[in-house]
Amino acid sequence: MAILGAGPAGLTAAIYAARALLAPVVFEKGVPGGQLNETDLIENWPGTGGPVSARDLMAALRRQAEELGTEIVAAEVTALEPGEATHRVVTTAFSVEARAVSVCPGARPREIRVPGAERLKGRGVSYCATCDGYFFRDRPIVVLGAGDAALTEALFLTRFASRVSVVVRHPESDPRAVRASATVRRRAEENPKIEFLWNRSVEEIVGDASVTGLRLRRLDTGEIEEVAADGVFVSIGRDPQTGFLGGVLELEDGYIVTDERMRTSVAGVFAAGDGRLGARAYSQAIVAAGEGAVAALEAERYVLDELVGVAR
């Protein structure tokens, strides 16, 4: 079984596939652990008794998968070529054949498209609070986004920043203005370092050598205002890493379409995690892990059915 991606979905799929003796091989172009390597703490993983290091949790999943016999290969998958008995997984260096494939590519942070954002990326514009938060000790910063990930990052950044301003595109009275869970929102609202800038959109990120502020438009009046900030942390959603699957699997808005059993439009190819259409609304590690388990269980069933058919 080939598993594309080593985030929580891929590593959990590998654990289940290894226990089913499917000889899983995991392909990962980055560091195993996926996006959780860029997260500080996980507070809602069952059985931990409290906050746990995201990186430590992913390292433990990797060790468990490897101890059960999973091979993890550092390689970027560039194509998936479906076949009858097997499917070919093509990387930048080689290709392999697999009876079953689980596609767990995850999703990457979506970049903001406003003047100054690209030019100042890495010079005050960041897409990873845990990576860059330390560099903004005692300095004012802005967070763009109003979902769970954005407010969680805002809370994390209060450890370092003198002030964290959260820009929200909707008025405070709009019940859909903040999409974070009630618990996360309450913690953000109660934190004295966090302020919400309601009903505003970003017009420009300004600065020469580095970020010095933002130009915001008040959506009720059209007024432009300047907000001083040394850093801008963007958390406005994610884009699925499925570009190599175009024309191979059925996609919708870039996300992989499956049924409730994680089966894609190609027999023997399954999908799980944040790159799957049904999971895009959740983006939770525990959801991805559960889907990875289902994908591996369905792959086991598929391989056994195929082998029985060949034997007959």
Cα–Cα distance for residue pair 89/10, rounded to 1 Å = 15
Cα–Cα distance for residue pair 69/116, rounded to 1 Å = 48
Cβ atoms 295, 271 nearer than 8 A: yes
Active-site option among 104, 132, 148, 230? 132
Kindly give the pairing relationship between strand 25-28 and strand 2-4.
parallel
Tokens (6 digits) for 4: 């594309």
Active-site option among 40, 56, 104, 128? 128
* Centroid of chain to Cα 179: 17
Count the neighbouring beta carbons within 10 Å of the beta carbon of residue 77. 24
Residue 239 a catalytic site member: no
**Closest to 266 (Cα-Cα) out of 27, 82, 114:** 82
Kindly give the pairing relationship between strand 125-126 and strand 140-144.
unpaired
Contacts of 67 (CB under 8 A, 6+ apart): none
Contacts of 162 (CB under 8 A, 6+ apart): 138, 139, 140, 193
Active-site option among 40, 56, 131, 259? 131
Residue 104 a catalytic site member: no
CA distances from 170 to 129, 132, 174, 196 (A): 23, 27, 6, 11
Active site amino acids: 128, 131-132
